[in-house]
Every structure is written in C-alpha cells, then in structure tokens.
C-alpha cells in the first residue's frame, strides 16, 4: 500500500526533475493511487507545504547534511525536505512517525547507507529544534524571502511597488492553503438552494462574501467528485475569478468575445449570466484546450458557447470590426496572484518573464479592442498583482486610445469591498485580503461615436 508520503514524494521528485506543475501532477497521482480522503489531504498538504517553504527548509537542512543538499540524489533531497516540513511546520504528526516513515521509504528506494543517513539527519534535527531560528540581523528583502520562502528578486520587486509591510502580508498569505470555492449555476438553482442542498448532505458550506455566486466548502475533498458537479449544479472556481464575469455584466442576447478562454470557467459564467441566450465566442491559442471549454459547456447545459482556436492577437483578422457588445481579455500573465495554488510557480518564474508577458498582453489589447462596438464594454483581467501587467497596462492603453475610458464596476458587487476602486473602474485584489487569488480587473467602455 502506498502512503500519503510516498505519493507526495513522487510529486516532489517529478516537480524537481522535470519542472512539472505540482497541481496537475498531484491530481494525477491522487487519482492513480486512490488514497483515502484523509491520506489525499495529507499528501496535498505535504506537496504544497514542502514546495512553498522550500528555501527556508533548505536553509535549515544545509547545516545537517555534511556533503550539502546539492550533492544528494533528487529523491533523497526531496525526502529530507518532506520530512523536515512535517517536523518543523506540522504539530499533529509525532516526530517518531515522521522518522520511521522516512527511513522505510529510504530503505525501499535506496540502500542501508541512505536510510542510515536519513535517520541520522532527522534525529539531529529533532534534537536541535529549539535552535532552528533565522538570523536576527537581516534586511527586509532577505528577512521576508527567507522567513516566508519567496525568491529575493520577487520580494525586492514587491517591496518597491507595495512596501515591506504589505509584501510580507502577501508572502505569508501565499503559504496558507487555499479555500475551496464553487460557483452556483444560476440556471439550475440559486446559490441559496445549492447552499441548502450541500449543507443538507452534511457538507460544511457557507456563502462567499466576495462573489455573488460563490460558496466556500470545507473538508469535502475533491468537489469534482460530488454528484452535483457532473449534473451541472456548480463549477469549481476561485472567488476572485468569479468577479470577472460580474464586471463584464453581459446581458441576454448579446454577442460576447472571450479572447483567452481556456479552460472555460469564466466563459461558462458569462453564459449563465446571459441565461444562455446570445452568442459567446470562446477563443484560445491551444487546440487541446478547446475541448476543455466544450466539456464545461456540455456539463453545464450551455449551447450559446462556440469555440475557436486562434491567437488572440489575430482575432481582428477573423471577426468584423465593432461586432461585439462585450469583450473579455483575461490576459496571459505572470500568474503571481495564484502562488497559493501553484507554489512551484514562484521558483520557476524569472523576472525577465514579467516584461516579456506584458509585451504579449499589450499586443493583444491593442488589436482586440477594434472588435468592440461603440458603447460596448471590454474587461481586462489578470491573475497577477504586478503593476506593469495591471494598472500600468490599462493606463498605457488609455493613453494611446482616447476612444476608451474607464467605466465604474457594477455597484451591487464591487462597492461592498472596494468602493473607491469600483467607482474608478479598476480593482486589485491581493491574496491576503479575502484569502482568494490575487486578481486584477478593469472595466473599459468604448465611447459612442
């Protein structure tokens, strides 16, 4: 029988060796080995926690590994990290159980010498627990980067934009487990009805304070396995992400363009808000993602969505000018607002990529805007907190396109938590504010001729 730690180690090693995405790999491993819910939960926590705290863990481990971590085989290094995470960050697992499981795994995967080394290192860590503290005289960048396990370049960049206090709050929030949130399909039942149904089936569920269609669920495991998911009662989506369709405010009968639509969560939300009356073009650059969008539409019983494989920067060559009432550009971005869900992202990302992706964003924005009718609304959104990709991008666009202006965000949704931003037409949600994803949303209106 494979344990939660075996599964977690498999994921960690493959992330380390192949730069695989931890969230996708973890789902595959959990499905393959059919762990019980509690074990699946532990494996998930061990994977995300170990990756999220990696440079803090390595800082402490180095003093206990005589040859240095870099000299170890990847699986041994990952096993030590995994074990250290349990010893240092988790209170509920007895030290002896952590050591025993690690030694057994080392015996199965390696030889007596490796298991002996693992045993010795972990027992030395247990004896030295009270001494595992960070140096006192660190500047803000090193203190936050080491204390909350983020790359120094990223911490330095955020401090420049947001200051050290806010940066530390964001980095701390990025290491907390994410909420599980679902979006009620209003065409099948109201949020209240779905909430009552979930609670009646014994699940811990409460209405989101952020998103009108959102519900937070605790301790339910994989919500895609709950019967109502396949029946189309709800979709799994972060609360911040749900606000994008609310900002777009599509109406029945409209023609809508979703430029970068995969995997189709926001597209489906748009269709639900339109009561599936009208026409929605869901476009994506990658052919294999077209099926993801189509699958969402079929599961939710939506017929107004049409898919198209095309580079968003060339959509103006396919569609007639001024042919859409609404356009959503949920732009490709650095993704630095979703580190909580994808902790490996912060280690894989390079600073130069932020400038490169902002060039792509502007290339798309500066062309798709032609497809909007006068009086129409275009929403620009990202799942990052980077100023150059967000407010800076919108200001650059407006400076060069006088026919566009910022339009207030729908009051009934946005005024409750961001009144000034809602009135202005741009809102930046940071990860620590509502324990949701970091997200940026701007609402742009094309002036009447």
Any binding-site annotation on 202?
no
Q: Residue 250's closest CA among 326, 330, 331?
A: 326
> From CA 174, how far away is CA 160, in angstroms rounded?
19
Is residue 273 part of an annotated ligand binding site?
no
* Strands 305-309 and 279-284, bridge-based pairing: parallel
Which residue in 78, 259, 333, 383 is the catalytic one?
A: 383
Question: Are the C-beta atoms of residues 149 and 52 closer than 8 Å to each other?
Answer: yes
Report the relative pairing of strands 204-207 and 404-406 from DSSP bridges.
unpaired
Quote the CA–CA distance of 163 and 155 in Å, as a whole number: 10
Contacting residues for 191 by C-beta, under 8 A, at least 6 apart = 184, 207, 212, 213, 214, 215
Q: In terms of Cα–Cα distance, which of 254, 263, 301 is closest to 282?
A: 263
Look up residue 263 and give its DSSP letter: T
Establish whether 284 is an annotated binding residue: yes
- Round to whole Å and give the CA distance between 118 and 111: 11
Is 412 annotated as a binding-site member?
no
What length is written for the chain?
Answer: 449
Whether residue 283 contacts residue 258, with contact meaning beta carbons closer than 8 Å, is answered with yes
Side-chain-side CA neighbours of residue 173 (13 Å) = 20
260 labelled binding-site residue? yes
Nearest residue to 265 via CA among 287, 251, 244, 286: 244
Q: Is 262 annotated as a binding residue?
A: yes
Question: Sign of the C-alpha dihedral, residues 330, 336, 342, 344?
Answer: positive
| Strand 204-207, strand 255-258: pairing | unpaired
Angle at 303 between CA 225 and CA 206, to 5 degrees: 40
**Both tokens of residue 226?**
């709950």
Residue closest to 111 by CA, chosen among 50, 71, 70, 119: 119
Tokens of 444: 């742009």
The annotation status of 264 as a binding-site residue, yes or no, is: yes
Determine whether 333 is an active site residue. no
| Closest among 164, 246, 166 to 415, alpha carbons compared | 246
Is 266 annotated for ligand binding?
Answer: yes
Catalytic residues: 383
Annotated binding site for S-adenosyl-L-methionine: 260-266, 284, 311, 330
Annotated binding site: 260-266, 284, 311, 330
């Amino acid at each position: 029988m494979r344990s939660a730690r075996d599964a977690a180690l498999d994921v960690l090693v493959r992330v380390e060796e192949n730069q695989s995405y931890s969230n996708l790999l973890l789902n595959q491993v959990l499905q393959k080995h059919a762990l019980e819910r509690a074990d699946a939960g532990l494996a998930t926590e061990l994977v995300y926690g170990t990756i999220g705290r990696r440079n803090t863990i390595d800082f402490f481990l180095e003093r206990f590994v005589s040859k240095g971590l870099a000299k170890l085989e990847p699986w041994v290094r990952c096993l030590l990290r995994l074990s250290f995470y349990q010893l240092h960050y988790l209170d509920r697992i007895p030290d002896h159980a952590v050591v025993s499981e690690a030694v057994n795994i080392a015996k199965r995967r390696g030889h007596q010498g490796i298991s002996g080394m693992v045993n010795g290192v972990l027992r030395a860590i247990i004896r030295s627990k009270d001494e595992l503290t960070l140096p006192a005289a660190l500047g803000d960048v090193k203190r936050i980067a080491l204390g909350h396990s983020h790359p120094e370049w990223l911490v330095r960049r955020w401090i420049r934009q947001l200051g050290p206090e806010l940066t530390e709050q964001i980095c701390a929030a990025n290491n907390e487990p994410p909420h599980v949130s679902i979006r009620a399909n209003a065409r099948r039942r109201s949020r209240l009805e779905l909430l009552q149904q979930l609670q009646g089936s014994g699940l811990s569920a409460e209405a989101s304070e952020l998103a009108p269609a959102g519900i937070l669920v605790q301790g339910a495991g994989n919500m895609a396995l709950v019967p109502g998911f396949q029946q189309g009662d709800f979709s799994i989506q972060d609360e911040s992400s749900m606000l994008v369709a609310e900002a777009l405010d599509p109406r029945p009968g409209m023609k809508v363009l979703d430029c970068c639509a995969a995997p189709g969560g926001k597209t489906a939300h748009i269709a639900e808000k339109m009561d599936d009356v009208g026409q929605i073009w869901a476009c994506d650059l990658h052919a294999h993602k077209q099926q993801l969008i189509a699958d969402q539409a079929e599961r939710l019983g939506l017929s107004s969505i049409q898919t198209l494989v095309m580079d968003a920067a060339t959509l103006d060559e396919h569609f007639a000018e001024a042919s859409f009432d609404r356009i959503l550009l949920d732009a490709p971005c650095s993704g630095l607002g979703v580190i909580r869900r994808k902790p490996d992202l912060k280690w894989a990302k390079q600073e130069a990529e932020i400038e490169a992706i902002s060039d792509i964003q502007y290339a798309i924005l500066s062309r798709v805007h032609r497809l909007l009718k006068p009086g129409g609304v275009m929403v620009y959104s990202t799942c990052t907190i980077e100023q150059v990709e967000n407010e800076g991008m919108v200001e650059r666009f407006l400076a060069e396109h006088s026919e566009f202006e910022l339009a207030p965000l729908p009051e009934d949704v946005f005024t409750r938590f961001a009144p000034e931003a809602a009135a202005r037409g741009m809102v930046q949600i940071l990860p620590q504010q509502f324990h949701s994803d970091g997200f940026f949303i701007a609402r742009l209106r094309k002036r009447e001729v």
